[in-house]
Homo-oligomer: A and B are copies of this chain.
Amino acid sequence: MDLSDKTIERICRVFGYLDVLEKRGVDFISSRDLALGVGATEYTIRKDISLLNITSYTRKGYKVEHLKKELGKRLHLDQKRKACIVGLGRLGAALLDYERFKEDGFEIVAGFDSNINKLERIRTDIEVFPVTNMEDIIKQKSIELGIIAVPEVGAQVVVDRLISSGIKGILNFSNTKIIVPKNIIYLNIDFTSALRFIASKFITQN
């Protein structure tokens, strides 16, 4: 199955929205409302779902539970995965205790920082370790995902060490370009770019 990044990205949002609907007790949703809920066109959403050979559509709309289950299977979103956070400044520490991760199947099982004082002071239920132990802990705990919130200057070193420890995917909050081998999947989350987009749009389009 060879899906484009855009399709995978939309399906992930559809999956998240179906999860919300399921929790609210919604049984059916029309493709129109599903499209509205994830901010895409109805045509695109129907096409994405049909690409996965899912027949979940009835006269009342998509069956929420069924569609979510099938999308989860196809995109392997139904499995729990372990993640760690590197860099426990204010943002990293907030991510360590970000409750939604666990609810959504991503368990944060370790936090790392180079500052021992910070590790001693931090208040969290998650186990935290000095970065020197990173490789061992990642292997021991079979952690698949690394979330990095270290200062820009240290980001690439951390990335290289995560990859040599066997990490398969990286979510980068470090506001810097990172370089990874082709088999490693990564995504940057850049708050400033998001604000720039908003500011630029409300000026140019109003």
Q: Which residues of A pack against B, CB within 8 Å?
A: 1, 3, 5, 8-9, 11-13, 15-17, 20, 37, 75-77, 79, 81, 83, 89-91, 93-95, 97-98, 100-101, 104, 106, 144-145, 147, 168-171, 175-177, 183-187, 189-206
A144–B202 CA distance with the chains assembled, in angstroms: 10
Interchain CB contact (< 8 A) of A191 among B17, B76, B98: B98
Q: Indicate if the CB atoms of A145 and B198 lie closer than 8 Å.
A: yes
Interchain CB contact (< 8 A) of A16 among B17, B83, B192: B192
B contact residues around A94 at 8 Å (CB): 89-91, 93-94
Q: Indicate if the CB atoms of B77 and A200 lie closer than 8 Å.
A: yes
Q: Indicate if the CB atoms of B171 and A185 lie closer than 8 Å.
A: no
CB distance from A159 to the nearest CB of B (A): 14
Which of A11, A90, A101 counts the most B-chain CB atoms under 10 A from its CB?
A90
Pull 14 A–B residue pairs with CB atoms less than 8 Å apart, ordered by A: A1-B204, A9-B193, A9-B197, A16-B196, A17-B177, A90-B98, A91-B98, A95-B191, A101-B195, A106-B195, A106-B199, A144-B202, A168-B202, A168-B206
**Closest Cβ neighbor of A168 among chain B residues:** B202
